[in-house]
Amino acid sequence: MSETKFLKPALLLTRLSIVYFLLPWQVMRFTNPEQASKIAKKYYHVEGINESTAPVIGALWLLLLLAVLVGFKKTYSYGLVFVLHAGAIIVAFPSYMWGASGFNQLFLAAIPSAAAMALLWILRKEDTFLSVLGKFG
């Protein structure tokens, strides 16, 4: 029997885990917008995210994560999640450098997460299990 029979369930699990990984950050934009603003300023050098803009950004992210969750418009939704996440890694790169003054070991989880996002985008046409529109989503 072919080993590819496990591919579709594995892609579903990858999709679910990506949403679960990113969801708390978006919920924080509603529940603690001040903290979201501090994180944006400290790690991503983004000013101007305040109590009114954080929920808007969170709502947009939640829509994007919903699209990923159901496998909708995979080329765009999976790709955008990967690009935004990879961009955040690049901008906060000193936090990922072992031995650097800003190193934060917890940040390292973002790197394999980005790899999973890239892999899901590459295999998006195979990700049809519990996905809207199957291969055409």
Percent of the chain at pLDDT exceeding 70: 95
Angle subtended at Cα 88 by Cα 9 and Cα 120, rounded to the nearest 5 degrees:
15
Place of tokens 């997460």: 113
Q: How far apart are CA 77 and CA 71, in angstroms?
A: 8
Q: How far apart are CA 4 and CA 24, in angstroms?
A: 32
* Residue 47 CB neighbour total at 10 angstroms: 9
pTM of structure: 0.89
Region of residue 45 (left: phi > 0; alpha: psi -120 to 50; beta: else) = left
What digits encode the pLDDT tens for the residues 27-69?
Answer: 999 999 999 888 888 888 888 788 889 999 999 999 999 999 9
CB 102 within 8 A of CB 94: yes
Helix axes 74-91, 53-70, angle to 10 degrees: 130
CA 113 and chain centroid, separation: 8
Which pLDDT belongs to residue 16?
Answer: 98
